[in-house]
Structure 1
Amino acid sequence: MKEFKNVRGTQPTRPLEVEVGPTHAYVRSNIRPVEAPSIGITFWIYDEVQYTLAEYIQLQQEKIEEIQNFTDKYLLDLEHRLTQLELGGA
């Protein structure tokens, strides 16, 4: 993983926040346009984290596991509450 601050991009439109290529994934944040009227273009400044594809897949897998754990706990709590209601308990 490599982190870069204030990267300048010359994309004609707003850069994507996440861009996955064949070997790397780029996660951009703090994207803002900068006008350069003297040369007639708009460019972009943003922060970027560059991951290898393997790093990015691992990161996404960890996020999926966190969401699954949260969902499992939430469903268990709902099942418990439903059982309590069915039994007429507190």
Structure 2
Amino acid sequence: MRKLQDLANDDEFEQAHHIIQQIHSNELAEPEDFKRYYYYQGQISLLLQDSPDDALFFFHRAYEQGSYVKNPDIKVRTNLTFNLNYLI
């Protein structure tokens, strides 16, 4: 997940897309991992694939995981991106 986060933060969405395709949701154990997985799927869908409907789906899935996540940073980013997606 760390590599995926670094690539997304550096706007390297092509490489991030390649990495996230290799991650299977059954490999994720912690709610935090699910939240990050769905958040970055949403980012890739919106910024690389220009698919706001898919992005909204993934951001919503990440948002649903919010009550289980300890890291406030990813909560805030997901909430902001989720709301911003409505404006697009």
**Fold shared, TM-score > 0.5 on shorter chain:** no
* Greater per-residue strand proportion: 1
What is the TM-score when the length of structure 2 is the normalising length? 0.25
What is the TM-score when the length of structure 1 is the normalising length? 0.24
* Greater per-residue helix proportion: 2
